[in-house]
Amino acid sequence: MSHTIQIKPITRIEGHGKVTVTLDDSGLVSDAKFHVTQFRGFEKFCEGRPFYEMPSLVERICGICPVSHSIASAKACDSILGVRVPTPAKKLRRLLNCGTFIQSHALSFFHLSAPDLALGFNADPAERNIVGLLKSYPALAMDGIQLRKIGQQIIESCAGKRIHPAWVVPGGVNNPLPEENRDFLLSLIPEGYKIIRRTLDWFKGLLDNYREEIRTFANFPTLFTGLVNSEGNLEHIEGKQRFLDSKGLLIHEDFDTDKYQEYLAEYTEHWSYLKSPYFKSLGYPDGIYRSGPAARLNVCDSCGTPQADQEWAEFKGLERGPVLSSFYNHYARLIEILFSLELMEYLLKDAEILSSHVRSIARNNEFEGVGVVEAPRGLLIHHYKVDEQGLITWANMIVATGHNNLAINRGILQVARRFIRGDKITEEAMNRIEGLIRSFDPCLSCSTHAIWSPKFRVDILSPDGTILDSMIS
């Protein structure tokens, strides 16, 4: 008899979701689904609002990456204004973005995933969390907290507030960076370097313990995508979108992100509120692609900063083609933190960062705008249309997690096939399914953020929906 196993809620991710695993008559896994169970409706209720409110309005989608949303949104609004953003403002936005990458990646790596990595996937769930980590690996946990703090301090020093700042505006930013804040931020960098160096060494030494996870965490060929700058280097804010196939070959010349609708399409499944974007010319679901830290490092020609480039070369050396296993997203996250610290140092040492020419003023001159950035967890697209008055008539947002939806689903199936045996779900299988999801650091478009939930529950259901077995840990 076939069974369905549910994991609900999935813990230590941003937002709410659940997993169902279906077993066939012989007790083998036949299917797995990742459901996003909440509906927000931002695209609908933004209609009728003035476009210049959008950067702050869309920030409320998330409490972890509001900065990414505000920059993507402001870029879309820049196009509606039809003006050129002053160079100092571009640099300030970039500096702010470094802050958000450091804090978000630190959160994902240390607070959410390090408990699995340091204590092991089979450790007692009561200990396998940031509090347990503080007891067993206090230095590591404190490093994580400190690194995240540095990221948050960058955001606060630029934008005045750590969460949901209203600093990025259409046409630039609304205040220059004070000199004392620049000096303060420069003073944070040495400690950041020390922490990330320590953590990289620790993580690399750990990889051998996780061969099985590396082999099964979404380790299959897909396309990879990410932004690259005009030199083909790692890029988070500007640039063009590159797609590589699973062999590492360019499948098309780099795309102009304004025209994302020409090469991306979204598919809606009836069982999830999260749509599944796919690469249009390959169709659904063959157009599966991955976005995010490892994908970015896969597609770029180099990072463009000396220390990160060294690490990047080592990362690329893991496999001959693109690095396929999503387990390596953790690794890529650490490299991107290093990259962000270096970029931040470079920006802060540029005298132009203190310029007061930070905003271009204009009214709405165009009727449509697209803004694309790399959020910490992947590509983020904001696309608006406005009427003559500048009121939004239509909005479309494709969030980072969406791009990875197909890969997360297929990855869960891969992990479930490897670790689930029979109709009893084991702790180790459950933990690895969650671990796979966490490796993508999904942000289910939600500002509520559970570090861990005391009620982690798995149900085994018969085809008619009755619960055959239930486990709460």
Partner 1 sequence: MRYPAFLQKIADRADVQPVRVLTFTIDGRMVSAREDETILSVARENGISIPTLCHLDGLSERGACRLCIVEIKGSAKLSPSCVTLPRQDMEVITNSERVMDYRRKILELLFTERNHICSVCVSNGHCDLQALTAELGMTHVHYDYLHTKQVVDASHERFSVDHNRCVLCQRCVRVCDEIEGAHTWDVMGRGHLSKVITDLNQPWGESITCTGCGKCVQVCPTGALSEKGKSVAEMTKKRQFLPYLKLMRGAEIT
Using CB under 8 A, list all residues that contact partner 1: 48-50, 52-53, 55-57, 60, 164, 166, 169-170, 174, 361-363, 389-391
Determine how β-strand 368-375 pairs with β-strand 378-386.
Answer: antiparallel
Distance of closest approach, residue 326 Cβ to partner 1, in angstroms: 34
Distance of closest approach, residue 193 Cβ to partner 1, in angstroms: 35
Buried b (16+ CB within 10 A) or exposed e, 398-418: bbbbbbbbbbbbbbbbbbbeb
Distance of closest approach, residue 302 Cβ to partner 1, in angstroms: 36
Cβ closest to partner 1, residue 160 vs residue 190: 160
Distance of closest approach, residue 81 Cβ to partner 1, in angstroms: 9
Residues 6+ apart with CB under 8 A from 203: 117, 330, 331, 334
Residue 31's DSSP bridge partners are 22
Cβ closest to partner 1, residue 73 vs residue 129: 73
Distance of closest approach, residue 68 Cβ to partner 1, in angstroms: 17
d(CA 281, CA 26): 37
Cβ closest to partner 1, residue 171 vs residue 226: 171
Q: What are phi and psi of 87, to 5 degrees?
A: -55, -45
Cβ closest to partner 1, residue 47 vs residue 183: 47
Helices (H), 281-399: 293-299, 306-316, 329-348
Q: What are phi and psi of 321, to 5 degrees?
A: -95, -145
Distance of closest approach, residue 175 Cβ to partner 1, in angstroms: 10
d(CA 59, CA 57): 5
d(CA 110, CA 276): 28
Instruction: Kindly report whether the peptide bond that precedes residue 9 is cis, defined as omega within 30 degrees of 0.
Output: yes
Distance of closest approach, residue 446 Cβ to partner 1, in angstroms: 16
d(CA 424, CA 427): 10
Question: Which token pair is 454?
Answer: 């005391």
Distance of closest approach, residue 391 Cβ to partner 1, in angstroms: 6
Distance of closest approach, residue 163 Cβ to partner 1, in angstroms: 11
Cβ closest to partner 1, residue 96 vs residue 299: 96
Distance of closest approach, residue 161 Cβ to partner 1, in angstroms: 10
Cβ closest to partner 1, residue 45 vs residue 271: 45
DSSP annotation of 233: B
Cβ closest to partner 1, residue 294 vs residue 392: 392
* 8 Å CB contact between 286 and 296: no
Cβ closest to partner 1, residue 72 vs residue 344: 72
* 8 Å CB contact between 441 and 327: no
Cβ closest to partner 1, residue 166 vs residue 189: 166
d(CA 71, CA 55): 7
d(CA 208, CA 42): 43
What are the Cα distances from residue 310, in Å, to 110, 206, 269, 313, 362? 22, 19, 42, 5, 43
Cβ closest to partner 1, residue 48 vs residue 463: 48
